[in-house]
Structure 1
Amino acid sequence: MMASYRWLWLVALVLLGWLVYALQPILSPFLIGVLLAYLGDPLVDRLERYKLSRTWGVVVVFAIISLLLVLMLLVLLPMLGKQMVRLYEMAPQMLDWLQLQALPWIQLKLGLSEGFWRFDQLKAAFSGQLGKTTDIVGLVLSKATSSGLALLAWLANLLLIPVVSFYLMRDWDLLMARVRALLPRSREGLVVKLSGECHEVLGAFLRGQLLVMLALGLMYSTGLMLVGLELGLLIGILAGLASIVPYLGVVVGVGAAMTAGLFQFGLEPFPLLAIAAVFTVGQLLEGMLLTPLLVGDRIGLHPVAVIFAIMAGGQLFGFTGVLLALPVAAVIMVLLRHAHDFYKLSDLYGESKGDSAEPPNPE
């Protein structure tokens, strides 16, 4: 009987994977809606403690999210747009700087051969790609406008996200209670325990690490703009987004900021030291304040597991796989931890009596 149940679960898992693969073109708005509902549910629960109804709590949370999005559209996007245009204008100058100053200096210090970099070929290829940028944009726009049905479907999916997240957020506790009521009575305790651990892992990463990511992006952007770096906002936000994987943000940020700083300021020590100080202060605040306060001592996902999960999900299921990567990785991590505990308690891990006996004395 147990074997038949295991086969049934295996068939259900395979069927679920096939459905995700077959329905991935329409799953994205629903998965984003589930993610927003999951992130917003604790805020709604907290508002309910202040005697606010569930529906009005969801309305308040949606109003806050909408206000933040409007502020981002009105303030952040125009500034980012200007810096993107500035980066596009600076790209040929940066290529010339690399060719005439940076790479010859590295070549001299390392004793490399004259034609080691083959920079003329790299510059020609890169310039060709830059020249095609406007053509690519025009091609995308022409495709979007030529297919009105596809454009309408994209807009419908975009509008579907707040609708799905609103209803899921409003009924989240009810849905969780109904799912729990469907669990087999003999396995309810185990499933609830595993679900709680998955929630701890996923919540620690999503809620905690996302807040750390936003705080670091704000600190990096503000600091780099105060230093006077032209691309400070763009690099700061990029470093903040990369911080979704711990320590990756500071590596990306320092590399990009130092490169931009060398191009803009040359070898002047003060601006370069100021750039290094911005990321040093950010890392100190993250380690001593942000991570203990926002993430706590809960076990999150290992950085390597995050990178692998996102890449594997994208490879297997595209954007839908990217959205599913972290929840699936959290579940797998919890199951592997319990499998490790069961293995340590099993006879396979423990020594048998014959193996544990004292070896005979050769004398």
Structure 2
Amino acid sequence: MRRQGWIAAVLAALGLWFLISIEPVLMPFFVSMVLAYLGDPLADRLEDKGLSRRLSVSLVFLLLTLVIVLSLLLVIPILGRQIGQLIESLPAILSWVQSTVVPRIQSMTGMDLSTDFDQMRETLVDNWKETGTFAATLLAQVSKSGLALVAMIGNLALIPVVTFYLLLDWDDLVAKVRGSLPRRWEPTVVRLAGECDEVLSAFLRGQLIVMLCLGIIYAIGLTLLGVKFGLLIGLLSGLASIVPYLGVIVGISVSGLVAFFQSGGEIWMLLGVAAVFGFGQFIESIVLQPKLLGDKIGLHPVAVIFAVLAGGQLFGFTGVLVALPVAAMVMVVLRYLHDRYKNSSLYDADRRASNEESP
């Protein structure tokens, strides 16, 4: 048994090394797996209504494609305009901070910040001015490198193809994996897989919907309030809410500063910003979290931050995408191992001995 454990550990280490080695080609497959996982329950429901698997998958695939394409067509142009406006407004914002905020901080603390802020301001403005040149240079370099351009286009083109075939064969793949498990391990692995499926369902179908709803609430609220860059700040705050409380902290800080600068310090704008984010938190705690998530994920905020950073370090952007689902599954396995440990003689040898001696 111990030898089998060592073999499993070595195989797991080799598998991790292999995945890290092929990281550049993993992104389309990971994205396709997530899309297929999200679409499989809907395809199963269509099958239950009498449709064939291929027709069901085709309808789900068409729905996913329409949702993604329409979202990109609607959101990206507006975000592009607001990012451009933010870049244009940056020098004025920095000048206001230098003339208003820095003197107040100096009067309260006695620290001379003018020299350091001047250097920081010049650096930021120069970098923003060079952003367009850098982007154009980068695009030119990518275009010159035909192999890199072909690889990038190929990776993007693979996503719909791989997603369709994974959706088509998802149930068969799951059945084959289950049939390949050692018979002694199969009940435990199936039970753990069911718990992982609950956690992943809560995260992928629940947390993503929560993030989207919060982003929409924040964006609409800030836009109606008249805060500049309201759509950009709202959507970014919704995305940041993947880490508990980070979205509301970042959103209310940034939008509060923008509203204060925009209105000249009028208190009603700041109260409006607080009301928008307060309403979002109320909806999240009363409606979204109980209905969509419950207590299924169980990841501590520190664990969330560590998982995102570790995933990015190991697998780059792909690791960031899959960090939290993998961390949620790891937590399921760790809880199982913890229960095994609490019932073992290593944890309480006297209690185990007394249980074995009792008739």
Under a length normalisation based on structure 2, what TM-score does the superposition of the two structures give? 0.93
What pairs with 1:169-188 in structure 2 (closer than 5 Å)? 169-188=167-186
Cα distance between partner residues in 2 of 1:223 and 1:323 = 28
Moved more, 91-100 or 332-341: 332-341
Cα distance between partner residues in 1 of 2:69 and 2:25 = 26
Return the match for 1:205 from 203, 206, 218: 203
8 Å CA contact 2:297, 2:328 repeated in 1: no
> What is the aligned residue count?
352
8 Å CA contact 2:308, 2:323 repeated in 1: yes
Cα distance between partner residues in 1 of 2:120 and 2:106 = 16
**Match of 2:355?**
none
What pairs with 1:27-38 in structure 2 (closer than 5 Å)? 27-38=26-37
**Match of 1:235?**
233
**Match of 1:87?**
86
Cα distance between partner residues in 1 of 2:190 and 2:115 = 58
Deviation at 1:8, TM superposition (A): 1.8
Cα distance between partner residues in 2 of 1:150 and 1:114 = 49
Return the match for 1:264 from 262, 265, 272: 262
What pairs with 1:1-363 in structure 2 (closer than 5 Å)? 2-108=1-107, 110-115=108-113, 118-350=116-348, 352=350
Q: Residue type matched to 1:246 in 2?
A: P
8 Å CA contact 1:205, 1:301 repeated in 2: no
8 Å CA contact 1:261, 1:272 repeated in 2: yes
Question: Alpha carbons of 1:115 and 1:73: their partners in 2 closer, same or farther (altered >3 Å)?
Answer: closer
DSSP 3-state at the match of 1:52: coil
Deviation at 1:142, TM superposition (A): 0.9
Q: Deviations over 1:35-91 (max 9, x none)?
A: 111111122122222222222222222222222223223321111111011001000
8 Å CA contact 2:98, 2:114 repeated in 1: no
Deviation at 1:147, TM superposition (A): 1.1
8 Å CA contact 1:219, 1:282 repeated in 2: yes
DSSP 3-state at the match of 2:185: helix
Cα distance between partner residues in 2 of 1:21 and 1:115 = 45
Cα distance between partner residues in 2 of 1:51 and 1:279 = 45
8 Å CA contact 1:229, 1:260 repeated in 2: yes
Q: Residue type matched to 1:56 in 2?
A: L
8 Å CA contact 1:37, 1:168 repeated in 2: yes
Cα distance between partner residues in 2 of 1:54 and 1:221 = 39
Moved more, 181-190 or 309-318: 309-318
% identity of equivalent residues: 51
Deviation at 1:132, TM superposition (A): 1.8
**Match of 1:358?**
none
Q: Residue type matched to 1:279 in 2?
A: F
Q: Residue type matched to 2:59 in 1?
A: V
Q: Deviations over 1:245-265 (max 9, x none)?
A: 221111111111011111111
Moved more, 126-135 or 99-108: 99-108
Q: Deviations over 1:338-358 (max 9, x none)?
A: 2221222233333748xxxxx
8 Å CA contact 2:211, 2:239 repeated in 1: yes
Q: Residue type matched to 1:264 in 2?
A: Q
Q: Residue type matched to 1:72 in 2?
A: S
8 Å CA contact 1:243, 1:249 repeated in 2: yes
Q: Residue type matched to 1:94 in 2?
A: I
Cα distance between partner residues in 1 of 2:350 and 2:65 = 63
Superposed CA RMSD in Å reads 1.8
Give 4+ residue runs of structure 1 displaced > 6 Å after superposition: none
Cα distance between partner residues in 2 of 1:212 and 1:107 = 42
DSSP 3-state at the match of 1:186: coil
Q: Deviations over 1:9-46 (max 9, x none)?
A: 12211210121022111111111111111111122122
8 Å CA contact 1:201, 1:301 repeated in 2: no
Cα distance between partner residues in 1 of 2:247 and 2:321 = 20
Moved more, 19-28 or 97-106: 97-106
Cα distance between partner residues in 2 of 1:154 and 1:276 = 42
Under a length normalisation based on structure 1, what TM-score does the superposition of the two structures give? 0.92
Q: Which has the higher contact order (CA 8 A, sep 6+)?
A: 1
Cα distance between partner residues in 1 of 2:207 and 2:297 = 12
Consecutive unaligned residues in structure 1, runs of 5 or more: 354-363
8 Å CA contact 2:106, 2:113 repeated in 1: no
Consecutive unaligned residues in structure 2, runs of 5 or more: 352-359
8 Å CA contact 1:220, 1:278 repeated in 2: yes
Cα distance between partner residues in 1 of 2:64 and 2:233 = 24
8 Å CA contact 1:58, 1:169 repeated in 2: yes
DSSP 3-state at the match of 2:346: coil
Q: Residue type matched to 1:158 in 2?
A: L
